[in-house]
Structure 1
Amino acid sequence: MNTQIFESLTRFTSRAAVPIVVIGGLAVGTAAMLFTGAAEATLLNDPGPYVRFGLPAAKFVFNLSMAMTLGALMFALLILPRTQGRGRKTKATTAAATSGTSDEAPLNALWEKTLKIAEVASVAWTISAVAVLVLTFVDTVGAQAYLDFSNQLGVFLTQIAFGQLWTLIVVLIAVASTLCFGTRSYLGIAVAGVLGVGVMIPLALMGHSAEASGHTQAVNSIGLHLLGVTIWLGGLFVIALLGSDLARSNQLRTTIERYSSFALIAFAIVAYSGVVNSLLRVHDLDDLMSPYGQVIVAKTFAVILLGLVGFWHRQFVIRRLGAVASATREFWRLIVVEFTIFGATMGLAVALSRSQPPVSQEPVGNPSPAEILTGEPLPPPPTFARYFTEWSLDPLWVVVAVGLSAAYILGFINLRRRGDTWPIHRLICWLLGMIFLVYVTSGGARVYGEIQFSAHMIQHMLLIMVVPLPMVLGAPITMLMRGTKARTDGSRGVREWVLWLVHTPYMRFFANPVFASVNFAGSLVIFYYSGVMKYALEWHLGHELMIIHFLGAGYLFAQALIGIDPGVKRPAYPLRLLMLLITMAFHAFFGISIMSSEVLIEGDWFGNIGADWGYSAIEDQQLGGGIAWGVGEFPTLFIAIMVAFQWSKSSDREAKRVDRREARTDDAELRAYNDMLATMAQRDSKADHRSR
C-alpha cells in the first residue's frame, strides 16, 4: 500500500511540476502587471497587447527553461554518478570520463535521463530566447517595428547594444544546447554548464541602466539572484522528474541531501541579492506602499515561505526518507507546495521587471563629469579615515568572501569533531584574506579607485600583493581535502572538481613558478601600457575580470613561493629567493617608470573626472607610481621572511630525518663512508709504495 501511495505521489508530482509552475506563474504575473500598471498601453507608439502580454510570458518561459536546463546540468556534474557501479575511480577511468572515450563502465541510467531533461529544456530555452529577442525588438521600437520589419530587426541585432546582447544570449544557449545533445563526457557537459551560466552575465548587464546610480550593486545582485533561483528551482524540477527512478535505485535520500546543501546556499544568495536589488528601487516606507513596493513585499513573503519549507525539509523530513512512509508522503506534498510558491514568485519577478519602480532608474539631470563617467556621485575629498569609512559594496565579492569563509569554518569544525588537528593560525589567515578581499572590492580603495589613479593603484597593489598572502597561508586546497568527505559512488562533488582542476595540465602550466612570476610582473605592464585598463574602467565586466585576474596572478605567485597546497612543483629555496628578487626588481622599475612619466595613462578618464580637490591628474599618476614602488616593499619582505622560515624548518626536518635513519641503522651510512675513505687511503698508500 505504501509503495502504491509513493508511486502515485511521484507520478503526480513529476507530471504536475511544469503545469503548476507555468499556470501559477502566468496567472500571478498577469495579475501583478495589471496591479502595477505594467500591462497598460503606452500613449505613444504602443506595440500592441500581443507584445505587452507576450513578452512577459516569453520571459517567464525563458526563465523556467533556463532553470530546468542548468538544474539538470548541475545534477549531472555535482550530484549524480555518471557511470554505473560504486567505488573510487582509477586514473584511467577518470581520464576516460573526462575525454569521453568508451573504455569505461556503462553510463548510469539516471545520469542519462538527467541529460535528456537538459536536452528538452535547452530546446525550449533556445526557442524562448529567440521569442524574447523578437518581442523585445518590437517592444523597444514600438508600432513602427512592423514597418520594414526585417531591416529594422537587422539593425537592432547588429548595431544596438541591447540587441547585440540578446543575440549573444541566443548564440550561447544554442551552443550549450548542442553540447547537451552531442556529448556525454564530463568535460563537455561542464562546458555546456559554463556557457549556460555565462548567459546570466548579459542578462544582468541588461537589467539596470548603465548610467544610473548603483550600477555595480544592481548588475551583480541581479546576476546572483538569477544564479540562486536557477540552482534552487532547477534542482526541484530534476527531483520531481526523477523521483520514482531515484527511489527504485535507493538514491533518493542521498540525492536530496546533496541537493539540499546547494538549495540552502541558493536560498541565502536569493535572499541577500533580492534585498540589495530592492533597496536600489525602494528607498523608504512610501515607496514600499506603492504598487511596485507591494509586489516586492509579496515576493519577499513568498521567498520566506520557500525558505521555511526548505528548513522543514532539512530538519524533519530528509533524515526519515525511505525509513518512514509518512516522511516520504510529506516530502512529495511539500515539493508540490514549493512548486506552487515558486511559480507565483517567478510571475511576480517578471511583473517587477516590466513595472516602473518608484525610485527613478534614469541618470540625474545635469550630471557631473564624475557621474557621467562612473555613474556615481563624486565622493568627498579623500583622507586617511575616509579610506575606511567610504564604502560601495560589491554584492558579488561579498558573497564570495562570506561563502568561502563559511565553507572554511565548516571544514575546520568537521576536522575538530572527528579529532583531527588543524592549525588555528591558518583559519585566522584565511579569514583575514577574506576581510581584505571585501575591503579591496567594496571599501575606500574601490570608491576612490574609480576617480583617482593613485587610489586605483592602491586597490591594484592590495589585490595582487596583499590579499593573496593570507589566503595562501590558509592552505584552502589542503583544507578541502581534509575537511570534506570524498565521494565513493563515482559522482563528483566540489572536492573532486577542485582537485581535478588543480591537477590538470593547464593549471599546472599557469601555476608553474616561472610562468607565475612572469604573469605576476608582466600583467602590470600589459594592463597599464596596452590600453586594457580602459575596459576595466568603462566596462563593468572588465572591472570584475580585472579583479579575478590580478587576484589569481598574486595567488599563484605567492603559492609558488610560500604555499603548501598540492598542484605546484616548487623550486629549491635559494631559487625561490632569486625569483622573488628578480620579480620585485622588475616591479620597482615599473613603479619608477610611472613616477617619471609625463604622459597621462587613460587621460580620457582620469583627466576628465572634474574633482575640485587633490592633485592634478599627472601629479596623482606619479603619486600612483610611488605607491606601486613603495607598497611592494612590505609584501616582498614578508614573503622573503616566510621563504627563509620555511627553508629553516625544512632543514630542521631533514636533519631530524637523517638522525632518525642513523639511529635505526646504527650509523651504517657513516661507517660505510668511513670504510670507503679508509679503502681509498689504503689504495693510495700502496700506489705510492709501488712508485718508489
Structure 2
Amino acid sequence: MSAPAPNSDPSGPLPRDRRGTALWTALGVLAAVVLTVWTVLAAGEHAYLVLGYPAPGLVTTLGVSLLRLVLDLSAAVCVGSLVFCAFFTTPRRDRMVSPDGYAAVRAAETSAWVWAGAGLLLTVFDAADSSGQPVSEILAPTSLLELLGALDAPDGWLLSAAVAVVLALSCHFVLRWRTTIALSLVGALGVLPPVLVGHGASNAGHDFASDSLGFHVVAATLWLGTLFAVLAHALRGGAHQQRVALRYQRLAAGCWVVLAASGVVSSLVLVPPDRLLETRYGALVLAKVGMLVLIAAVSVPLRRRAFRAGTGTRRAVLRLAGLEGALLLGTLGISMGMAHVPPPNLLARDTSASELLIGYDLPAFPDPTQLLTAWRFDLLLGTAAVLLAVGYALGVRRLRAAGTSWPVGRTASWMAGCATVLVASSSGLGSYAPATFGVHMTAHLLLNMVGPALLVLGHPVLLALNALPGAERGGLFGPREWVLAVVHSPVARAVTHPVVASVLLAGSLYGLYLTGLFQWVMQEHWAHTIMNVYFLVTGYLWFWSVLGTDRTPRRVPQLARLGVTLGMMPLLAFFGVLVLSMDEPIADNYYRTLDLAWSVDPMAAQRAGALIGWLGGELPMLLVLVVLLSQWQREQGDDDAEHEGLFERLESTRS
C-alpha cells in the first residue's frame, strides 16, 4: 500500500493535545474498570442467591465482568474501524481501500483477535458463573460440554467469538473497499448473540426487552468504536479531517437518539418506574441516564464552540473526542454492572406460559376485532416500516425540490408496502401470529409476498440513486456510492439470480414447515425475529429479480422471468396440498405449551393456514404475470415501431 495521504488540516495536533487525549482515554478506561469492579463487589452474593444458586467465588465473578468489558471494547474498536473504512474514507480508483482505510482494517483485525480471545474465555467463565461454580471446577472437557449443552448464555459468547474469528481472518486479506461494508454488517450482528440470550430474553415483555437491548448494544458499539477510529485517524494525520469530523457528528447524534429511546424501552420492561429508587438495578439505570445526559450536555456545546471559533480540525477532534470517549467508557462501566445485577423483571414468579414463550398474554380469542385492535409494536420490523416510509417521502420531496417529478403510483405502492409490513408485524395479526397457525400464515403471506411486491414496485433503488447525495469532487464517498456498491456487489448478483431467489423463497415454506424447524424457531424470540426478517428479505429479492422494474444487479431476459414465475406457482400449490394432507399438526407441542385461556382446533387452524398460504400466495404471482405481460407487450410495441421506421426508411431510399 502507498503511504498515507498528507494531513489536510494545516494545524496539526500539539504534543499537549496528544497528551490530553491519552490522559482522557486512560481516565475513561480506569473509570470503566473501577465502576465494573465496584458494582460487582457491591452486589456481593445477593445477585446469585436471588436466582437460586450459590456465588461462584470472587475470581469467577470479577473474571466474567472484566472479560466482558474487554470483549465489548475490542468488539467496538473492530466494528468502528470497519465502519470507518466503509463510510468515512474514499477508495482508490481501482476500488481498493485507501491508506486511511487500510490502517483502519488493520486495527479491526487486531481488535477482532482480542474479541475472539475474550469471547472464548467468557464461554468458560460464564458457564461457571451461570452454574454457581468456581471456574477451576468446570475446566474438565466433560463438565464444560455438559454446561454448554444446558446453558444458553455461554453459547452466545461462543458464537460471538466465532464471528470475531471470521472477521479477523477476513480483515487479514481484505483490500477491496466494498468488502468492508459487508464486514461492518457482520461485526454489528456479531455483538448480538450474548444480548439475545441474556437477562432481557427472559420473562414477561422479553420481546420488547430483547429488541430494545439489541438496538442499544449496536448503537453503543458503533458510537464508541467509530469514535476510537476517528481519534486514530486524527492522530495519524489522515485525509479529509473536516469532512470526517462532520460525518462523525451526525453518526454520534443518531446513536445518542437510539441509545436514549432503546434505553427507555428496556428499562420500562426490566424495572417498573416505581422501583427505580428501590433496587440496585434501578439505581444503575438512573446513573446511565445521567451519563447520557451529561454526554449530550458537554459534547454538543463544546463541539459547536470549537468549530465556530475556527480551531484546527485535528486539534478539535482530539480534545472533544477524548472527553467524549472518557464519558462513554464510564457509561460502559455502568453497563457492566447492569449485566451483573438481575433486573426486577427477571425475579417475577407469576409469569404465564405464554409470557415466557412469546413475551405477553393473549387473553381473548383472535376474532376480527382483536386482529384489528390488539396492536403490539414490533421494535424491529415496525420501526423499519416507519423509517422506510419517512425516508422515501423525504427522497421524493428532495427530487421535487430539485424540479424532478416522481410518479405518484410508485410512491403509493411503496407506502402500501410499508403499511403491509407494519400491519403484518405490529397489528393484531402480528400479536396473534405466534399463537395460532392460521394467523401466522396470514402474516407470513403479507411479509413474504404482498409487502415485498409492493415495495419493489416503488422503485426504491432508482429513487435512492436520484435523491441521495454523492461524493463531492475530491471528497468522501457518499450514500449514492454506498448504494451502488451494494447493488453491484457479487453477493447481490448471486442472490438476485432468479433460480437462487426462487430457492430462497421456497425455503421459507418447505424448509421451515416440513422439517420440524418451525417448532424450534417459535420457542425463541430471536429466532422468530430472524424468521420474519427472512420472509421479508427473500420475498423482496425474488420480486426484485423477477419484476425487473427497478435498478437491479443483473438483467434477466423477459422469457426467463416469465418462466420462473410460472414455475413458482405450482410450488405454492403443492405446498398447500402437502399441509392439507397432514395427519398431525405442525409444531403441536409448541402450541400446547402456550396454555392459552382460549383454544382452537389445531388441525382446523392448520388447514386454514394452508389455504391462506396457497390461495393468497397465488394472487401476488398473478400480479407479477400481469406486470411481465404488460412489459412484454410494451417491448413488442417498441420493436414493431422500430421495424416500421426501418421499413419506411428503406422505402424512401428506393424511391
Shared fold by TM > 0.5? yes
- Kindly indicate whether the alpha-carbon contact (under 8 Å) linking 1:82 and 1:490 is maintained by their aligned counterparts in 2: no
CA change 1:327–1:119 in 2 (3 A) is closer
Matches of residues 527-538 of structure 1 in structure 2 within 5 Å?
527-538=512-523
Residue type of the partner of 1:348? Answer: I
Aligned equivalent of 1:53: 62
Structure 2 residue aligned with 1:381, among 332, 352, 365? Answer: 365
Residue type of the partner of 1:133? Answer: T
Greater mean deviation of Cα atoms: 298-307 or 644-653: 644-653
Residue type of the partner of 1:484? Answer: L
SS at 2:272's partner residue? coil
SS at 2:198's partner residue? coil
> Based on CA coordinates, which of the two structures has the bigger radius of gyration?
1
SS at 2:68's partner residue? helix
2: CA distance between counterparts of 1:675 and 1:495?
48
- Kindly indicate whether the alpha-carbon contact (under 8 Å) linking 1:175 and 1:192 is maintained by their aligned counterparts in 2: no
2: CA distance between counterparts of 1:571 and 1:634?
23
- How many angstroms does 1:131 deviate by? 4.2
2: CA distance between counterparts of 1:361 and 1:397?
29
- Kindly indicate whether the alpha-carbon contact (under 8 Å) linking 2:548 and 2:555 is maintained by their aligned counterparts in 1: no
CA change 1:306–1:414 in 2 (3 A) is farther
Residue type of the partner of 2:294? Answer: L
- Kindly indicate whether the alpha-carbon contact (under 8 Å) linking 2:11 and 2:315 is maintained by their aligned counterparts in 1: no
- How many angstroms does 1:229 deviate by? 0.5
- Kindly indicate whether the alpha-carbon contact (under 8 Å) linking 1:562 and 1:639 is maintained by their aligned counterparts in 2: no
Residue type of the partner of 2:557? Answer: P
Aligned equivalent of 1:121: 111
Structure 2 residue aligned with 1:606, among 571, 583, 591? Answer: 591
Matches of residues 197-208 of structure 1 in structure 2 within 5 Å?
197-208=188-199
2: CA distance between counterparts of 1:472 and 1:122?
37
- Kindly indicate whether the alpha-carbon contact (under 8 Å) linking 2:584 and 2:603 is maintained by their aligned counterparts in 1: yes
Greater mean deviation of Cα atoms: 424-433 or 228-237: 424-433
Aligned equivalent of 1:565: 551
SS at 1:485's partner residue? coil
Segments of structure 1 that go 5 or more residues without pairing to the other structure are 84-88, 98-106, 679-692
Aligned equivalent of 2:327: 341
SS at 1:474's partner residue? coil
CA change 1:552–1:37 in 2 (3 A) is same
SS at 2:140's partner residue? helix
- How many angstroms does 1:282 deviate by? 1.9
- How many angstroms does 1:232 deviate by? 0.6
2: CA distance between counterparts of 1:119 and 1:641?
50
- How many angstroms does 1:311 deviate by? 4.7
Post-superposition CA distance 1:532-577 (Å, at most 9, x none): 32333223343233223222232233221263223242433x7756
2: CA distance between counterparts of 1:611 and 1:45?
35
Aligned equivalent of 2:89: 80
Structure 2 residue aligned with 1:305, among 290, 294, 308? Answer: 294
Aligned equivalent of 1:222: 213
Post-superposition CA distance 1:190-217 (Å, at most 9, x none): 5654543332232122323655122222
1: CA distance between counterparts of 2:138 and 2:506?
54
1: CA distance between counterparts of 2:549 and 2:272?
46
1: CA distance between counterparts of 2:98 and 2:555?
37
Aligned equivalent of 2:456: 472
Aligned equivalent of 1:15: 22
Greater mean deviation of Cα atoms: 266-275 or 66-75: 266-275
- Kindly indicate whether the alpha-carbon contact (under 8 Å) linking 1:41 and 1:48 is maintained by their aligned counterparts in 2: no
1: CA distance between counterparts of 2:163 and 2:313?
41
CA change 1:121–1:511 in 2 (3 A) is closer
- How many angstroms does 1:643 deviate by? 4.2
- How many angstroms does 1:472 deviate by? 0.7
- Kindly indicate whether the alpha-carbon contact (under 8 Å) linking 2:85 and 2:101 is maintained by their aligned counterparts in 1: yes
- Kindly indicate whether the alpha-carbon contact (under 8 Å) linking 1:29 and 1:344 is maintained by their aligned counterparts in 2: no
Aligned equivalent of 1:27: 34
Aligned equivalent of 2:130: 140
Aligned equivalent of 1:173: 164
Aligned equivalent of 2:6: none
Residue type of the partner of 1:469? Answer: A
Residue type of the partner of 2:89? Answer: L
Matches of residues 363-512 of structure 1 in structure 2 within 5 Å?
364=350, 367-368=352-353, 370-371=354-355, 373-487=357-471, 489=474, 494-512=479-497
- How many angstroms does 1:501 deviate by? 3.2
Asked if 1:357 corresponds to 2:336, the answer is no
Normalised by the length of structure 1, the TM-score is 0.82
- Kindly indicate whether the alpha-carbon contact (under 8 Å) linking 2:381 and 2:422 is maintained by their aligned counterparts in 1: yes
2: CA distance between counterparts of 1:568 and 1:4?
48
1: CA distance between counterparts of 2:175 and 2:138?
44
1: CA distance between counterparts of 2:369 and 2:651?
66
- Kindly indicate whether the alpha-carbon contact (under 8 Å) linking 1:217 and 1:277 is maintained by their aligned counterparts in 2: yes
SS at 1:72's partner residue? helix
SS at 1:385's partner residue? helix
CA change 1:380–1:159 in 2 (3 A) is closer
2: CA distance between counterparts of 1:512 and 1:181?
30
2: CA distance between counterparts of 1:525 and 1:41?
44
Aligned equivalent of 1:110: 100
1: CA distance between counterparts of 2:124 and 2:519?
33
CA change 1:78–1:175 in 2 (3 A) is same
Aligned equivalent of 1:65: 74
- How many angstroms does 1:373 deviate by? 4.6
CA change 1:586–1:498 in 2 (3 A) is same
- How many angstroms does 1:616 deviate by? 0.8
CA change 1:478–1:638 in 2 (3 A) is same
Segments of structure 2 that go 5 or more residues without pairing to the other structure are 1-8
Structure 2 residue aligned with 1:670, among 645, 648, 654? Answer: 648
1: CA distance between counterparts of 2:414 and 2:16?
46
CA change 1:250–1:453 in 2 (3 A) is closer
2: CA distance between counterparts of 1:242 and 1:670?
65
- Kindly indicate whether the alpha-carbon contact (under 8 Å) linking 1:156 and 1:164 is maintained by their aligned counterparts in 2: no
Structure 1 residue aligned with 2:241, among 238, 252, 259? Answer: 252
- How many angstroms does 1:512 deviate by? 3.0
Residue type of the partner of 1:343? Answer: L
- How many angstroms does 1:527 deviate by? 2.5
Post-superposition CA distance 1:15-49 (Å, at most 9, x none): 23531321122334445556666888869743333
**Once superposed, what is the RMSD of the aligned Cα atoms?**
3.6
Post-superposition CA distance 1:481-500 (Å, at most 9, x none): 11123335596555434423
Asked if 1:615 corresponds to 2:600, the answer is yes
- Kindly indicate whether the alpha-carbon contact (under 8 Å) linking 2:355 and 2:361 is maintained by their aligned counterparts in 1: yes
CA change 1:539–1:358 in 2 (3 A) is closer
1: CA distance between counterparts of 2:12 and 2:507?
66
